[in-house]
Amino acid sequence: MLHIQDETQITCPYCGETISILIDSSAGSQEYHEDCSVCCTPIFFSIAIDHEGNLIQIEAKRDDD
Ligand SMILES: [Zn+2]
């Protein structure tokens, strides 16, 4: 099975640093928490992927938004 991971840069909503995250676009749209590699705060990611596995949108949000 083809397993695709796209490395994408996002801005941490807590510390404002740019960090790289890996998105598994074969898994479809997903929401999860991942710790910022700079400030270690869990960021909420909302990732939209279409049925062909193309990344449509990435949102990195604070839990308290
Ligand atoms: Zn951070």
Torsion of Cα atoms, 39 then 43 then 49 then 53, to 10°:
40
Counting the structural domains of the chain, the total is: 1
CA of 43 to the centre of ligand 1 (A): 8
Which residues have a beta carbon within 5 Å of ligand 1, which is an ion? 12, 14-15, 36, 38-39
pTM score above 0.95 = no
- Calculate how far, in angstroms, residue 60's C-alpha sits from the geometric centre of ligand 1: 11
pLDDT tens-digit series, residues 1-18:
455 677 889 999 999 999
44-62: average pLDDT: 93
64 pLDDT tier (thresholds 50, 70, 90): confident
> Domain span at residue 21?
5-61
**58 conformational bin, left if phi > 0, alpha if psi -120 to 50, beta if neither:** beta
Average pLDDT over residues 19-32: 92
